[in-house]
Structure 1
Amino acid sequence: MDMSSISFVDPLIWGKLVEIIALNIVLSGDNAVVIALACRALAPNQRAKGIALGAGVAVVLRVLFTVLIASLLNAPFLRIIGAALLIWIAVKLILEDGEGDENAVAASSKLWKAVQTVAIADIVMSLDNVLAIAAVAKDSIPLLIAGLVISIPLIVLGASLITNLLTRFPILVWAGAALLGWVAGDMFDSDPWLITRFGADALHSLEYPVAALGALLVLSLGYWFKSRRPDPAL
């Protein structure tokens, strides 16, 4: 996608934007909970400010991080590696469904300490978000930034709602994992090394089949690994 020719009246652009927001919401449930946990010990009159500041710092850092990753994805083989990582992240998302990070973040009673905790935790936990969003946005930095700016405040404001939805409707986790697999297939199909070797036209004709194969692979692996886990009730 040519960054200079981006147009927000293009339905394809809106489709990509919705895809970025959906991925961010599915992948950021834990991040939103981390923000709430880090700020839970703040005084009531500082809690909203801590969440807002923490989210703001997280937005800026994540945009910079994602732009860096997006620029690196233009190198040969990195999209292939990124696709493999996304498949692993998607399967991990299925396997970790229901497991939280409640004990991973300490609360702080000081505003800037809480903001620092939020920012660091968000960056540490956001490799999956960054990689997926960079894969969708490809060369469009405005699209990448727009998707992050729109979705991150939604995640912060709706942290408990998102967490409850994902817990109550596990199918949403599977749908998000399948979407990640789709993005992984699309990323794999657009690797510069493969384009040089097989030609852009040949790979373009395989774009949807490879993306669908990525989604199917994630769901199959997720189901297989999940079915082999011992039943905790036994």
Structure 2
Amino acid sequence: MQDIVALVQDPAAWVALVTLVVMEVVLGIDNLIFISILTNKLPPESREHARKIGIGLALVMRLALLGTVAWIVQLTNPIFEAFGHGFSWKDLILIAGGLFLVWKATKEIHHSVDVDDHKEDLVGAGKEVLKMSFASAIGQILLLDLVFSIDSIITAVGMTPHLPIMVVAVVAAVTVMLIAATPLANFIEKNPTIVMLALAFLLMIGGTLIVEGFGVHVPKGYIYAAMAFSAAVEALNMFAKNARKKKAGGGTTLH
């Protein structure tokens, strides 16, 4: 209890907490985009439930991993060497997660472009198939939660040695994800071009995880700057499109 009081009274601890919360929220964007795209493929009545389960599992997993911080840190120790690089369990997890993201994003892009292929997926989608789809969605969310959670916890350990600060930061970040999940998913669903942009983001994130697994450090600032620039360009396109629609509609309704 005295340690908690000391942390509350320490300005450096508050700075570390705010910094870590911001970083955890930013790192959670990747996970949130994936969850939004995946749950939008479920029946409408199941989507929000799946998002809550997926994000809730992310919270449980991260808190559980925080309880094994000493073991998590050991995941960065090399276990074998190949191509002049010592691979650790963290590297292997990042590579596997990156490959999964690249495969999933590529598959979703193919479904978005090939309308006939997408229709085939919907044929015979009875109640049993929908249940399997829900279970499959949760399973895939859980798999990516594991990859992002380990990366998130290792980042947190590198920023502060205080476990209470890590716990508060993780809970705050996951809470933000929970609040933003449904609005983001609805926005993505209503704007098809955003879906393709989000899938491109997942491809880039997957590629980044793979190269980082091979020991090539990619500054996250470059990745998120590119994502922000692309999102800003798409926002301008959407504003221009809406302006043209309003102008055309206004021209026909004026007397």
The TM-score by the shorter chain falls in which range? 0.5 to 0.7
- Give the deviation of 1:148 after TM superposition: 1.2
Larger Rg: 2
Match of 1:84 in 2: 91
- Give the deviation of 1:57 after TM superposition: 2.2
Counting only pairs closer than 5 Å after superposition, residues 130-209 of structure 1 correspond to structure 2 as: 130-138=149-157, 139=163, 140-159=166-185, 161=187, 165=194, 167-168=196-197
Match of 2:55 in 1: 59
Match of 1:194 in 2: none
* Contact 1:86 1:132 (8 Å CA) reproduced: no
TM-score for both structures, normalised by structure 1: 0.54
Q: 1:100 to 1:151 in 2, by over 3 A?
A: farther
Match of 2:69 in 1: 73
Q: 1:28 to 1:92 in 2, by over 3 A?
A: farther
Identity percentage over the alignment?
Answer: 8
Match of 1:13 in 2: 17
Q: Does residue 53 of structure 2 align to residue 27 of structure 1? A: no
* Contact 1:21 1:148 (8 Å CA) reproduced: yes
Structure 1 alignment gaps of length 5 or more: 41-46, 185-209, 220-234
Match of 2:218 in 1: 215
Residues 76-113 of structure 1, C-alpha deviations (whole Å, 9 max, x = no match)? 6224345414642575488559514568x987759x94
Runs of 4+ more than 3 Å apart: 6-9, 79-83, 89-98, 100-103, 105-110, 112-121, 160-181
- Give the deviation of 1:33 after TM superposition: 1.6
TM-score for both structures, normalised by structure 2: 0.50
Q: 1:135 to 1:156 in 2, by over 3 A?
A: farther
How far apart, CA to CA, are the structure 2 residues paired with 1:37 and 1:145?
27
- Give the deviation of 1:170 after TM superposition: 8.5
Q: 1:94 to 1:118 in 2, by over 3 A?
A: closer
Structure 2 alignment gaps of length 5 or more: 78-87, 112-117, 158-162, 223-255
Match of 1:129 in 2: 148
Residues 57-86 of structure 1, C-alpha deviations (whole Å, 9 max, x = no match)? 223222111222232231262243454146
Structure 1 range deviating more: 51-60 or 115-124 = 115-124
* Contact 2:102 2:206 (8 Å CA) reproduced: no
* Contact 2:28 2:177 (8 Å CA) reproduced: yes
Q: 1:164 to 1:128 in 2, by over 3 A?
A: farther
How large is the RMSD of aligned CA atoms in angstroms? 4.6
Give 3-state SS (helix, strand or coil) of 1:38's partner: coil
Give 3-state SS (helix, strand or coil) of 1:37's partner: coil
Number of paired residues? 179
